[in-house]
Amino acid sequence: MSRRGAARVLARWLIGLGLLTGTASLAQAPAPPAAPPDVPSGPASIRGQVVHPTRPEATGGVELLLYALSASGQPGLRAGRSTPDGSFVFEGLSAAQDVAYLVGARFEGVPYPGARIRFAPGETLREVEVRVADVTRDPSALVLDELRLRLDFLGGSLNVTETLSVRNPGPRTVYVPAEARAGARPGVEMRLPEGAGDFRTPLGIPPEGLVREAGVLRWFGPVFAGPQDLEYAYGVPAGAGELVLSREIATAPHRLVVLAAASGPQPEAPGLVDAGETEIDGRPYRRYEGPAPRRRLALSLPVPPASRDASRVSRAEARVILDLDAAVVRVREEHVVEVTGDERVVAAPGARLVHVPVPEGARQLRFSADASSLGLVADPSGGLSLLGPLPPGESTLSLQYELDAGESFGRRFGAAVPLVSIYVADTGDLLLESDRLHRRRPVRTPDRTYAHLEAFEVGAEEQVRLSVRTLPRRASLSQRASLLVFAVLSVGVIGAVVAPLRRSSGAPAVPEGEGESAARRERDALYAALHDLEHDHETDKIEDEDYAAMRDEMRARAVALLRAEKESAQARRDAPPASVEPTCARCGAEVRPEDRFCASCGAPLAAPPESEARA
């Protein structure tokens, strides 16, 4: 088998076994890579045995396939054959815990999925069995246990996902090859409801043996021993009023289950019983159960009125959150959509309500659980679209993806957005620059601090760009804290040391008030340093312990300066006025302090203080 053919076969196995998980499904999902590279290499091995229930000699020379899927989404594929005794080994495999493996075989034209493997820490060897079986074309033993219908409104239509649970109680695989299907009896025959269109299967790959002709589904297998599910989806136009899903049932299942989105219309059918609420992919549904009708299934749903006026839909805000490391930029986005009026809005046929471009190179694209309720689909022209129904008021589409790290981030939003907010996880060494975005106060969460930037009235095709550069490594936080405290406190110390030297060198005395101005300058420098310290702490550039020590020391110095200024001012107010030469009160002639009478006119002078007289 070619690598391309093996990829398609294994994709079908992965759908049934649930290996391809983690991304939200869209109405138009891309097929997996046609020719994956080899699986990740490493020291591990998978050793196995092909097992046949009745013919052990048939297990030699069986074609084997090993599929690998890593956390990055990159698939890998390797082929091999079993030895004459049915054993096989795949060597040189990665033992990383984020790599999942699936081993399978192809026997008599039928692909058989084997074990799903993920190595445990320290484990380098796993042993598996791959069971194969003979093939029969007689489907009479097959049992249809359940038909499950999941109902979601998507734009102006009802999206129905059907899962048919089939059980094969026999030891042989039921399968009719393509060249023998004319006139052969299928294992399952199911007619689609009247008006059904847009038929889809998981990952866009039709299950092996599924044939659709004139609204009738026929499945010719392979149906392996035990239970197995057949899944497909389609859309039915849903105008206002009552929607009836009506169709004939050629092969009736034993049980009917209907899952309707809890926020939408609820179905009615004879024999259906409300079994309570359940959850699928994080979204609430009402579950209804009952026996399946034998000849005809008729399910009715009341459809509330909806408008197709797309002008009532606008973008209110876009929020982008960036987490960066050396190799990857992890992006989370929230697009807020606003609907005016009192009615829901749905897209007209072939149209869309909202288009959200996806950046080139984006990978690991994921969505919030409620994205499907907004009618999220992959847009044929690229990116994502919302078809509705969108309820009145605000709705939020959340998505996330990864990009390769670079020195800039650019984003177009596909429609005019009044407010764009970008939050960047601040690691303490980032330099952010943008001609369009304006800085706002950082936002602090319990575990991170984010730089906050905003842009207003962003155009539909305008690209908002942000330059992200890493600054050179700085001194350790403790060293930086010590240097900053030393620099601030040294202002006062230098002034105290230099002032006496200036006076002793014969320099003019410091005019009154100059010392006060120097103290004020030191205090202003302290206040500025405290402000910078608060900003550095908010942006995680200084650890909590260093921040507390620096803040307390700076505040203590500021308080000491303020107290010294107050004491100096009080001393100046309490000081006696400067002394002057005494004069005679009668004639104004100068007299000496020890004189008792004026030497000019002989008038008696005021007596000196008692202490001076004794002296």
Q: Higher-confidence residue: 93 or 527?
A: 93
pTM score of the predicted model = 0.62
Share of the chain above pLDDT 70, in %: 79
DSSP state of 133: -
Inside any domain, residue 255: yes
Whether 365 and 422 map to the same domain: the answer is yes
Q: In which residue are the tokens 């807020």 written?
A: 336
Whether 377 and 414 map to the same domain: the answer is yes
Give mean pLDDT, residues 97-119: 90
Give mean pLDDT, residues 368-378: 83
Inside any domain, residue 137: no
Task: Indicate if the pLDDT at residue 23 is higher than 60.
Answer: no
SS3 91: strand
Inside any domain, residue 487: no
394, 338 contact by CB (below 8 A): yes
405, 324 contact by CB (below 8 A): yes
Least confident of 80-94, 159-173, 332-346, 461-475: 461-475
**What is the structure's pLDDT at 606?**
62
| pLDDT level of residue 416 (50, 70, 90 thresholds) | very high
**What is the structure's pLDDT at 473?**
53
Least confident of 335-339, 354-358, 382-386, 423-427: 423-427
Among candidates 251, 232, 247, 85, which has minimal Cα distance to 162? 232
CATH number at 174 reads 2.60.40
374, HSE (Cβ side, Cα atoms, 13 Å): 29
| pLDDT level of residue 237 (50, 70, 90 thresholds) | confident
Share of the chain above pLDDT 90, in %: 41
- Distance CA(124)–CA(114), nearest Å, equals 19
Task: Indicate if the pLDDT at residue 577 is higher than 90.
Answer: no
Give mean pLDDT, residues 95-104: 92
**What is the structure's pLDDT at 508?**
44
Q: Higher-confidence residue: 255 or 248?
A: 255
**What is the structure's pLDDT at 12?**
45
Q: Higher-confidence residue: 413 or 407?
A: 413
**Residue-wise pLDDT tens digits, 456-514:** 999 999 999 999 887 665 444 444 545 555 455 554 544 444 444 444 444 444 444 44
Give mean pLDDT, residues 600-612: 61
Among candidates 543, 417, 563, 395, which has minimal Cα distance to 481? 543
**What is the structure's pLDDT at 259?**
95
SS3 560: helix
Tallying the residues shown for the chain, one arrives at 615
- Distance CA(509)–CA(107), nearest Å, equals 106
Whether 150 and 279 map to the same domain: the answer is yes
Mark which of 98, 132, 166 sits at the end of a domain.
132
| pLDDT level of residue 413 (50, 70, 90 thresholds) | very high
**What is the structure's pLDDT at 295?**
78
CB proximity list for 75: less than 8 A, separation 6 or greater: 7, 32, 33, 36, 67, 68, 69
Whether 89 and 41 map to the same domain: the answer is yes
User: What is 494-535 written as a DSSP string?
Assistant: HHHHHHHHHHHTTPPPPPTTHHHHHHHHHHHHHHHHHHHHHH
- Distance CA(142)–CA(543), nearest Å, equals 67
Q: What is the mean pLDDT of the chain?
A: 80
CB proximity list for 476: less than 8 A, separation 6 or greater: none
Question: Cα-flanking dihedrals φ and ψ of residue 574, to 5°?
Answer: -85, -15
Handedness of CA 400, 406, 408, 414 (dihedral sign): negative
Give mean pLDDT, residues 46-75: 90
137, 182 contact by CB (below 8 A): no
Strands, sheet with 255-261, edge to edge from the N-terminal-most edge strand: 197-200, 226-237, 157-168, 143-154, 255-261, 283-291, 273-280
Whether 286 and 364 map to the same domain: the answer is no
Least confident of 2-16, 150-164, 311-325, 532-546: 2-16
Whether 568 and 589 map to the same domain: the answer is no
- Distance CA(362)–CA(101), nearest Å, equals 25
Inside any domain, residue 374: yes
Inside any domain, residue 477: no
Q: In which residue are the tokens 């020195």 written?
A: 407
454, 421 contact by CB (below 8 A): yes
- Distance CA(471)–CA(47), nearest Å, equals 50
Whether 448 and 545 map to the same domain: the answer is no
Q: SS3 breakdown of the chain: % helix, strand, coil, rounded to 5?
A: 20, 40, 40
Give mean pLDDT, residues 29-33: 42
Q: Higher-confidence residue: 362 or 548?
A: 362
**Residue-wise pLDDT tens digits, 313-329:** 999 999 999 998 878 89
Whether 361 and 344 map to the same domain: the answer is yes
What are the CA-CA distances from residue 34 to residues 14, 37, 510 (Å)?
14, 10, 87
Radius of gyration of the chain (CA): 41
- Distance CA(222)–CA(113), nearest Å, equals 12
Whether 225 and 181 map to the same domain: the answer is yes
Number of independent structural domains in the chain: 5
Least confident of 120-129, 165-174, 378-387, 440-449: 440-449
Q: Higher-confidence residue: 584 or 85?
A: 85
Whether 91 and 14 map to the same domain: the answer is yes
**What is the structure's pLDDT at 131?**
93
**Residue-wise pLDDT tens digits, 197-234:** 889 888 777 888 999 998 899 999 999 999 999 999 99
**What is the structure's pLDDT at 21?**
34
SS3 367: strand
Give mean pLDDT, residues 243-268: 86
Inside any domain, residue 247: yes
- Provide the residue range defining the domain that includes 77: 3-132
**What is the structure's pLDDT at 357?**
93
CATH number at 125 reads 2.60.40.10
Give mean pLDDT, residues 258-269: 89
Inside any domain, residue 53: yes
Q: Higher-confidence residue: 608 or 532?
A: 532
Nearest 10 degrees: Cα torsion 151, 152, 157, 160:
-40
Task: Indicate if the pLDDT at residue 175 is higher than 60.
Answer: yes
Q: In which residue are the tokens 């919030």 written?
A: 368
Inside any domain, residue 482: no
- Distance CA(108)–CA(50), nearest Å, equals 13
- Distance CA(344)–CA(348), nearest Å, equals 13
Whether 462 and 364 map to the same domain: the answer is yes
Whether 348 and 445 map to the same domain: the answer is yes
Residue 374 CA, chain-centre distance (Å), reads 18
Give mean pLDDT, residues 392-412: 91
Least confident of 241-245, 421-425, 454-458: 241-245
Among candidates 514, 524, 446, 465, which has minimal Cα distance to 491? 524
SS3 59: helix
